[in-house]
Amino acid sequence: MPAIEIRNVRKRFKELQALKGVSLTVEEGEFFGLLGPNGAGKTTLISILAGLSRADEGTVKVLGHDVVSDFRAARRALGVVPQELVFDPFFTVRETLRIQSGYYGLRNNDAWIDEVMANLDLTEKADVNMRALSGGMKRRVLVAQALVHRPPVIVLDEPTAGVDVELRQTLWKFVSRLNREGHTIVLTTHYLEEAEALCDRIAMLRRGEVVALDRTSALLQRFAGMQLFVRFATGVLPAELRALEVDPTNVQGHQHLLRLSSYDDVERILAQCRAAGCTFDEIEVRKADLEDVFVQIMNGPEVVEGLA
């Protein structure tokens, strides 16, 4: 049984078609990435999954439970860490987590609450009022709230946005442990190095549609390769080389990033640049990463799908 099953989900907000027939499946125990630029529909999809919004068409299930017709079981199986910092300023950290436990009918949950706080470095803040915490500490509490009922499926919507390196490392260590123990993790993030390091499979959304769905390694193998970074002291990139630019919409000054099919391309490209009167400040051959794959897919017309 899939952890999450999304079939032909559509959602419109007045004139905006936020989701255009999204379908994807997340298997139990996966660490799954949901990526896309701002406005791609990621948060809308998560809101439907969490029951905060209702799809106009399509079905969404969590561990076989429909989020509309069997919403109680679906909610119990799911823990969501939202983007926004939402908190009640009248309670301490421990009180907040106890109240959250109560929403799920859990009593005598203090042992797990203590473990969650310890793993998120919240123990020293347990009796501090929520309004007195820093932004990073409040985000840790949001993560703890999502985990307090031990959900088998955990959705992290931009969990490390605007937080320090220490929190990122602490969070990923704990979440990776939960994944090893069998929890399914769905992550949205703009830090693509996190997705590349953590996610088994990745779906990429663009303007409400899935434009890539495959194992992370397969996406890297298909799109990634070598790239040539050049920065010119003088001259401009010859017109015949512009088709090789990785992201032609994001050219910065005299800097260019060009796709290579092999090392043999390097000297040919440099020779063409010299023939056009260019001189170089910097030359570097690089290996592409998930960010490069993301840029290529977002700027390309094709849909990349694999079910491996």
What mean pLDDT do residues 41-61 have?
A: 94
> Is residue 107 over pLDDT 70?
yes
Q: What is the mean pLDDT of residues 115-119?
A: 92
Band of pLDDT at residue 307, cut at 50, 70 and 90? very low
Per-residue pLDDT band for 304 (boundaries 50, 70, 90) equals low
> Whole-angstrom Cα distance, residue 292 to residue 257?
10
Beta strands in 101-250 (DSSP E): 153-157, 184-188, 201-206, 209-215, 226-234
pLDDT(289) > 70: yes
- The yes-or-no verdict on residue 208 having pLDDT over 80 is yes
Residue 49 pLDDT: 94
Mean pLDDT in residue range 242-261:
82
State the CB neighbour count (10 A cutoff) for residue 16. 11
Mean pLDDT of the chain: 89
| pLDDT mean over 232-260 | 86
Contact 78, 49 (CB under 8 A): yes
- Beginning with the edge strand found earlier in the chain, give each strand of the sheet holding 16-26 in spatial order: 16-26, 4-13, 57-62, 65-66
Among 21-25, 52-56, 221-225, the range scoring the smallest mean pLDDT is 221-225
Average pLDDT over residues 90-103: 92
Question: Quick one: pLDDT band at residue 223, thresholds 50, 70, 90?
Answer: low
Beta strands in the chain (DSSP E): 4-13, 16-26, 31-35, 57-62, 65-66, 78-81, 153-157, 184-188, 201-206, 209-215, 226-234, 255-260, 279-287, 304-305
Provide the terminal-to-terminal Cα distance of the chain, rounded to the nearest Å: 16
The band of 302, judged by pLDDT with boundaries at 50, 70 and 90, is low
Residue 190 carries which DSSP code?
S
**Section 251-272 average pLDDT:** 87
pLDDT score recorded for residue 278? 93
306 pLDDT higher than 70: no
Supply the pLDDT for residue 275. Answer: 93
**Domains of the chain by residue range:** 4-220, 226-287
223 touches 34 (CB < 8 A) = no
Backbone angles phi, psi at 157, to 5 degrees: -100, 100
Q: Per mean pLDDT, which range of 5-9, 81-85, 119-123 is the poorest?
A: 81-85
279 in Cβ contact with 268 (< 8 Å):
no
CATH T-level assignment (fold) for domain 4-220: Rossmann fold (3.40.50)
Among 4-18, 85-99, 196-210, 284-298, the least confident range:
284-298
pLDDT (tens digit, 9 = 90+) per residue, 147-162?
A: 999 999 999 998 877 7
Backbone angles phi, psi at 181, to 5 degrees: -85, 0
Of 140 and 224, the structure prediction assigns the larger pLDDT to 140
Give me the phi and psi of 110, to 5 degrees please: -65, -35
Whether the predicted pLDDT of 232 surpasses 60: yes
Structure tokens at 53: 């919004």
CA 277 to centroid of chain Cα atoms: 43
Instruction: Give the residues across from 245 on adjacent strands.
Output: 258
Find out whether 251 and 273 touch, Cβ atoms under 8 Å.
Answer: no
Average pLDDT of span 56-73:
94
Helix (H, G, I), strand (E, B) or coil at 3: coil
